[in-house]
Amino acid sequence: MNGVTRARMDSVKFTRRKIKAGQKLYCEGERFHYVHAVRSGTLKSSLTGSGGREQVSGFHLAGELVGLDGVANGQYRSTTMALEDTELCDIAYVHLFELAVGDKGMQHVISRLMCREILRKHTLMMVLGTMSAEERLAAFLIDLSQRYGARGYSRQEFHLRMSRAEIASYLGIELETVSRAFSTFRQQRFLDVKARHIRNLHLEGLSRRFEVRLC
């Protein structure tokens, strides 16, 4: 979200609230009324795949929007829960459009926000479709690093809020494979990793090694 967008968003009616780690923000199939802006904290979205097993479809950091998957059919497509204590703004979807009526610029902003989501999926699709396990993890780390960097946090050192199992599910591989890839990266001096803490992430090295290029 850019500065202009943020200013307009702040003028929209909304309610703030907090949810605890592990609490659900919304569930698959629930009626969609709100888009949610993440003030602080981290969330994960997941789909219930064939066979009932969970498939992580995304992680949401502070400053990002959650819930747009509900627009298409008026009900949420995914289940979203907090990975740590999280502060949110609930923005009523109808207000988004009340604001937009007669304002062509605002309509573009909204459309773009939604289409950004499409682009993210496009990119992810390529990651999942054609990349090896190590390439996937590299792409994931670079993406996270960029998102943290964009919010003013360190790009080289950060704390993963999600488990190996959740990363694995998101990337479409097994958790053991994620663990092995981390170990390989450590041996190759691309990073220091201890449990969920990442230090000295060597962005250029990873990008060069894996030719990863994210939007």
Binding footprint of DNA, residue count (CB under 7 A): 21
| Residues in region 148-167 near DNA by CB under 7 A | 163-165
Applying CB under 7 A, among 183, 189, 200, 208 the residue interacting with DNA is 183
How far is the C-alpha of 174 from the C-alpha of 182, rounded, in Å? 13
Choose among 46, 37, 35, 30: nearest CA to 83. 46
H helix intervals, 47-152: 93-100, 104-130, 133-150
According to the binding rule CB under 7 A, does residue 49 interact with DNA? no
115 binds its own copies (CB under 8 A): yes
Q: Which 7-66 residues touch its own copies, going by CB under 8 A?
A: 47, 49-51, 55, 57
Contacting residue, 66, 99, 144, 173, with DNA by CB under 7 A: 173
Structure tokens at 46: 């997941």
Q: How many CB atoms lie within 10 A of CB 36?
A: 24
Strand spans (E) along 34-85: 34-40, 43-48, 54-60, 65-66, 79-82
Q: Of the ranges 37-45, 63-71, 75-83, 128-136, which one interacts with DNA (CB under 7 A)? A: 128-136
Q: Which residues bind its own copies (CB under 8 A)?
A: 47, 49-51, 55, 57, 68-69, 71-73, 77-78, 97-98, 100-102, 104, 107-108, 110-112, 114-119, 121-122, 124-126, 128-130, 171-172, 211-213
